Amino acid sequence: MKKAVFLDRDGVLNEELGYQVTSMDEFKIKEGVAEGLMRLKKSGFTLIVVTNQSGIAKGTYDDAFVMDCHQRLQAVSQNVLDDIYFAPGYDSVSKSLSRKPGSLMFERAIAKHNVDITNSWMIGDRESDMIPAKKVGLKTIQITPETPSPLADSASANLREAVKLIVGKS
Protein backbone atom coordinates (compact mmCIF):
# COMPACT_ATOMS: atom_id res chain seq x y z
CA MET A 1 0.00 0.00 0.00
CA LYS A 2 1.09 3.57 -0.70
CA LYS A 3 1.03 6.66 1.45
CA ALA A 4 -0.57 9.62 -0.29
CA VAL A 5 -1.30 13.29 0.01
CA PHE A 6 -4.61 14.49 -1.40
CA LEU A 7 -4.57 18.15 -2.41
CA ASP A 8 -7.36 20.59 -3.07
CA ARG A 9 -6.47 22.86 -5.99
CA ASP A 10 -8.00 26.34 -5.68
CA GLY A 11 -6.69 28.09 -2.58
CA VAL A 12 -4.02 25.45 -1.92
CA LEU A 13 -2.04 25.04 -5.14
CA ASN A 14 -3.19 28.17 -6.93
CA GLU A 15 -4.44 31.54 -5.77
CA GLU A 16 -8.11 31.74 -4.78
CA LEU A 17 -9.27 34.94 -6.46
CA GLY A 18 -12.85 35.02 -5.20
CA TYR A 19 -14.26 34.11 -8.60
CA GLN A 20 -13.88 31.27 -11.07
CA VAL A 21 -10.67 31.52 -13.05
CA THR A 22 -11.41 31.21 -16.76
CA SER A 23 -8.08 31.95 -18.45
CA MET A 24 -4.53 30.75 -18.01
CA ASP A 25 -3.48 34.35 -17.34
CA GLU A 26 -5.60 34.25 -14.16
CA PHE A 27 -4.30 30.84 -13.02
CA LYS A 28 -1.58 31.84 -10.53
CA ILE A 29 0.35 29.07 -8.80
CA LYS A 30 1.08 29.94 -5.19
CA GLU A 31 4.61 30.60 -4.03
CA GLY A 32 6.39 27.49 -2.76
CA VAL A 33 3.95 25.02 -4.31
CA ALA A 34 6.42 23.44 -6.75
CA GLU A 35 9.02 22.95 -4.04
CA GLY A 36 6.45 21.58 -1.60
CA LEU A 37 5.10 19.08 -4.10
CA MET A 38 8.59 17.90 -5.00
CA ARG A 39 9.48 17.49 -1.31
CA LEU A 40 6.38 15.37 -0.73
CA LYS A 41 7.23 13.21 -3.75
CA LYS A 42 10.83 12.76 -2.56
CA SER A 43 9.40 11.65 0.79
CA GLY A 44 7.57 8.83 -0.97
CA PHE A 45 4.03 10.19 -1.22
CA THR A 46 1.62 9.59 -4.07
CA LEU A 47 0.16 13.03 -4.92
CA ILE A 48 -3.50 13.27 -5.89
CA VAL A 49 -5.43 16.46 -6.68
CA VAL A 50 -9.14 16.39 -5.74
CA THR A 51 -11.05 19.48 -6.78
CA ASN A 52 -14.60 20.69 -7.30
CA GLN A 53 -14.93 22.37 -10.69
CA SER A 54 -18.54 23.54 -10.95
CA GLY A 55 -17.56 26.00 -13.68
CA ILE A 56 -17.75 23.09 -16.13
CA ALA A 57 -21.46 22.52 -15.41
CA LYS A 58 -22.06 26.28 -15.41
CA GLY A 59 -20.41 26.59 -18.83
CA THR A 60 -17.75 28.99 -17.53
CA TYR A 61 -14.92 26.70 -18.72
CA ASP A 62 -14.52 23.09 -19.88
CA ASP A 63 -12.65 19.90 -18.93
CA ALA A 64 -9.79 20.87 -21.23
CA PHE A 65 -9.21 24.09 -19.27
CA VAL A 66 -9.05 22.13 -15.99
CA MET A 67 -6.46 19.83 -17.56
CA ASP A 68 -4.49 22.80 -18.94
CA CYS A 69 -4.28 24.18 -15.40
CA HIS A 70 -3.18 20.75 -14.17
CA GLN A 71 -0.49 20.59 -16.85
CA ARG A 72 0.84 23.97 -15.72
CA LEU A 73 1.12 22.60 -12.16
CA GLN A 74 2.90 19.55 -13.55
CA ALA A 75 5.30 21.69 -15.58
CA VAL A 76 6.45 23.74 -12.59
CA SER A 77 6.79 20.72 -10.30
CA GLN A 78 8.65 18.28 -12.57
CA ASN A 79 5.50 16.20 -13.19
CA VAL A 80 5.25 14.91 -9.61
CA LEU A 81 1.43 14.86 -9.45
CA ASP A 82 0.20 11.29 -9.87
CA ASP A 83 -3.47 11.93 -10.62
CA ILE A 84 -6.29 14.45 -10.67
CA TYR A 85 -9.94 13.93 -9.84
CA PHE A 86 -12.43 16.70 -10.45
CA ALA A 87 -16.15 17.01 -9.95
CA PRO A 88 -17.77 19.04 -12.75
CA GLY A 89 -21.29 19.11 -11.36
CA TYR A 90 -23.06 21.09 -8.71
CA ASP A 91 -26.80 20.76 -9.21
CA SER A 92 -27.76 17.18 -10.07
CA VAL A 93 -27.49 14.15 -7.82
CA SER A 94 -25.49 12.07 -10.32
CA LYS A 95 -22.93 14.81 -10.92
CA SER A 96 -22.71 15.98 -7.33
CA LEU A 97 -21.94 12.58 -5.76
CA SER A 98 -18.27 13.18 -6.52
CA ARG A 99 -18.36 16.79 -5.38
CA LYS A 100 -16.84 17.56 -2.01
CA PRO A 101 -18.00 17.31 0.72
CA GLY A 102 -18.90 13.94 -0.81
CA SER A 103 -16.12 11.37 -0.69
CA LEU A 104 -16.45 9.56 -4.03
CA MET A 105 -13.35 11.18 -5.60
CA PHE A 106 -11.33 10.08 -2.58
CA GLU A 107 -12.77 6.56 -2.58
CA ARG A 108 -11.95 6.11 -6.28
CA ALA A 109 -8.39 7.38 -5.81
CA ILE A 110 -7.81 5.20 -2.72
CA ALA A 111 -8.88 2.11 -4.66
CA LYS A 112 -7.00 2.97 -7.86
CA HIS A 113 -3.72 3.89 -6.14
CA ASN A 114 -3.89 1.32 -3.31
CA VAL A 115 -3.65 4.09 -0.71
CA ASP A 116 -2.83 3.32 2.91
CA ILE A 117 -5.21 5.79 4.57
CA THR A 118 -3.51 5.49 7.96
CA ASN A 119 -0.36 7.08 6.51
CA SER A 120 -2.08 9.57 4.22
CA TRP A 121 -3.19 13.20 4.37
CA MET A 122 -5.55 15.76 2.89
CA ILE A 123 -4.49 19.39 2.46
CA GLY A 124 -7.40 21.73 1.78
CA ASP A 125 -8.53 25.25 2.51
CA ARG A 126 -12.19 24.68 3.40
CA GLU A 127 -14.21 22.56 5.79
CA SER A 128 -15.73 20.89 2.71
CA ASP A 129 -12.24 19.45 2.06
CA MET A 130 -11.95 18.17 5.63
CA ILE A 131 -15.35 16.39 5.67
CA PRO A 132 -14.66 13.73 2.99
CA ALA A 133 -11.07 13.30 4.15
CA LYS A 134 -12.24 12.49 7.68
CA LYS A 135 -14.98 10.23 6.30
CA VAL A 136 -12.39 8.02 4.57
CA GLY A 137 -9.90 8.18 7.47
CA LEU A 138 -7.25 10.66 6.27
CA LYS A 139 -5.36 13.06 8.52
CA THR A 140 -6.14 16.68 7.58
CA ILE A 141 -4.36 20.00 7.32
CA GLN A 142 -6.30 23.15 6.55
CA ILE A 143 -4.58 26.03 4.79
CA THR A 144 -6.11 29.06 6.45
CA PRO A 145 -5.14 32.44 7.84
CA GLU A 146 -8.13 32.20 10.18
CA THR A 147 -9.46 29.74 12.72
CA PRO A 148 -9.49 26.29 11.13
CA SER A 149 -12.41 23.92 11.01
CA PRO A 150 -12.71 21.66 14.04
CA LEU A 151 -12.34 18.80 11.54
CA ALA A 152 -8.77 19.86 10.71
CA ASP A 153 -6.08 17.95 12.58
CA SER A 154 -3.66 20.82 11.93
CA ALA A 155 -3.62 24.23 10.30
CA SER A 156 -0.98 25.95 8.20
CA ALA A 157 -0.64 29.30 6.50
CA ASN A 158 0.44 27.70 3.21
CA LEU A 159 1.45 24.49 1.47
CA ARG A 160 5.11 24.88 2.45
CA GLU A 161 4.18 24.78 6.17
CA ALA A 162 1.79 21.87 5.61
CA VAL A 163 4.55 19.89 3.89
CA LYS A 164 6.86 20.48 6.87
CA LEU A 165 4.19 19.07 9.18
CA ILE A 166 3.66 15.99 7.01
CA VAL A 167 7.30 15.22 6.31
CA GLY A 168 8.13 15.73 9.97
CA LYS A 169 5.53 13.09 10.95
CA SER A 170 6.41 10.54 8.27
Of 53, 15, 52, 51, which Cα lies nearest the Cα of 33? 15
**Is 8 among the catalytic positions?**
yes
Catalytic residue among 8, 25, 125, 153: 8
Residue 75 has a CB neighbour count (10 Å cut-off) of 11
Give the Cα-Cα-Cα angle 119, 50, 135 (nearest 5 degrees). Answer: 55
Do the Cβ atoms of 151 and 130 come closer than 8 Å?
A: yes
Element (H, E) at 154: strand 154-156
Catalytic residue among 10, 25, 63, 83: 10
What is the distance between the terminal CA atoms of the chain, rounded to a whole angstrom?
A: 15
Of 138, 98, 124, 100, which Cα lies nearest the Cα of 13? 124
Q: Which residues are catalytic?
A: 8, 10
